[in-house]
């Protein structure tokens, strides 16, 4: 494998698909785009390190396809990994039909997985550019203060970021007054990761408690909200980190535009609405113990816990979906998204 981007060194530490599954499941790697890239590259590393590359092309294809299915089972809500697996299976099948050796199938897979790493960065930068321009045009303000939830930057993608990529683009264009990031309990992706990225990029930023969102908006200090997505249904309903729905409700009440920033790979046209999205539940320890489950127990022993990792924001609370192909807006006739038409038009 060739080292093409700095973040690839992170994924190379994941030795094989089993390590990849554990890293994704345990949220060592998290963020829908990063999950897809880490899953694909973990298998590429395993294949690259195989001592025995003998066997038929069909046997190599079967090996890779079974491994991909195993990886997809690690996180059910984020659709990007399943989408990447589907595309990689097509590459595998084509290689198996056109090459005489197993080695050729493995090499085709490695090249395709590495290509996904580069494509994700390019996709994120396009999302940032489209999003920054669109939000500026909609708000008609020279300087904007933008709120985001969870982590959607370089640590959740192959690089640059989706929602945080929009904030980065606004900042680099001189149009960002301030970024606000929520702590994002219980796993604290906002305070641990987003805050780190904002400070590292020298972007003017303020960390707030999840419960302070409504007060911040009431004070008139938020011009727009931009969040990421783990899955977008065909009607625009969006699954994202738990607490996103609450932020959207606050934004609606305070007339603050609420945008979702995600690559087209996060769109699942097979789902008619968010009601069909599988919501993963996390370990009770994330709530019972300090530091998102890593520290000592602080809650009373014996208390029951409900800890969904995601919630679904209805499309009627979303102002637009920012993708690498452009911004999906609602049709004026019925104030609804036509996600399928947009995807087909830009395919």
Residue 244 CA to residue 311 CA, distance in Å, equals 7
Report which of 129, 213, 223 is spatially closest to residue 168, judged by C-alpha positions.
129
Tally the residues of the chain.
Answer: 347
**How is residue 140 annotated by DSSP?**
T
Among residues 208, 206, 198, 266, which one has the least CA distance to residue 237?
A: 266
Do the beta carbons of residue 237 and residue 273 sit within 8 Å?
Answer: yes
Q: Which two tokens stand for residue 178?
A: 């301030």
DSSP SS3 for 9 = helix
Task: Indicate if 230 belongs to the active site.
Answer: yes
* 151, 226 contact by CB (below 8 A): no
Quote the CA–CA distance of 222 and 251 in Å, as a whole number: 9
| d(C-alpha 100, C-alpha 47), whole Å | 18
Alpha helices, DSSP H only, in 140-227?
163-172, 189, 195-200, 213-218
Catalytic residue among 120, 230, 237, 311: 230
- Answer whether 30's CB lies under 8 Å from 292's CB: no
Tally of CB atoms within 10 A around 199: 11
Helix (H) or strand (E) holding 339: helix 339-346
Report CA torsion sign: 7, 12, 16, 20.
negative
- Catalytic machinery residues: 230
């Amino acid at each position: 494998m060739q080292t093409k981007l700095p973040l690839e060194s992170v994924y190379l530490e994941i030795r094989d698909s089993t390590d990849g599954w554990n890293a994704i499941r345990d949220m060592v790697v998290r963020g829908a785009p990063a999950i897809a890239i880490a899953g694909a590259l973990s298998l590429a590393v395993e294949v690259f390190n195989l001592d025995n590359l003998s066997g038929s092309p069909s046997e190599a294809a079967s090996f890779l396809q079974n491994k991909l299915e195993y990886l997809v089972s690690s996180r059910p809500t984020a659709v990007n990994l399943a989408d990447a697996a589907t595309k990689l299976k097509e590459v595998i099948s084509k290689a198996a039909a056109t090459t005489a050796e197993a080695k050729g199938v493995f090499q085709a897979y490695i090249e395709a997985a590495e290509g996904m790493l580069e494509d994700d960065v390019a996709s994120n930068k396009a999302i940032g550019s489209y999003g920054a321009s669109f939000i500026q045009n909609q708000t008609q303000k020279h300087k904007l203060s933008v709120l985001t939830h969870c982590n959607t930057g370089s640590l959740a993608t192959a690089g640059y970021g989706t929602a945080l990529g929009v904030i980065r683009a606004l900042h680099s264009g001189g149009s960002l007054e301030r970024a606000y990031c929520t702590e994002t309990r219980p796993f604290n992706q906002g305070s641990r990761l987003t805050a780190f990225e904002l400070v590292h990029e020298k972007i003017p930023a303020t960390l707030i408690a999840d419960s302070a969102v409504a007060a911040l908006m009431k004070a008139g200090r938020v011009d727009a909200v931009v969040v990421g997505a783990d899955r977008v249904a065909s009607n625009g309903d969006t699954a994202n980190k738990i607490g996103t729905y609450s932020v959207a409700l606050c934004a609606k009440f305070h007339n603050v535009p609420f945008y979702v920033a995600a690559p087209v790979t996060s769109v699942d046209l097979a789902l008619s609405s968010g009601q069909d999205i599988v919501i993963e539940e996390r370990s009770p320890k994330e709530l019972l113990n300090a530091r998102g489950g890593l520290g000592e127990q602080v809650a009373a022993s014996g208390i029951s816990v409900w800890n969904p990792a995601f919630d679904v924001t209805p499309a009627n609370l979303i102002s637009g979906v920012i993708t690498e192909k452009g911004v999906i807006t609602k049709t004026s006739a019925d104030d609804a998204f036509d996600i399928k038409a947009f995807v087909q038009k830009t395919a």
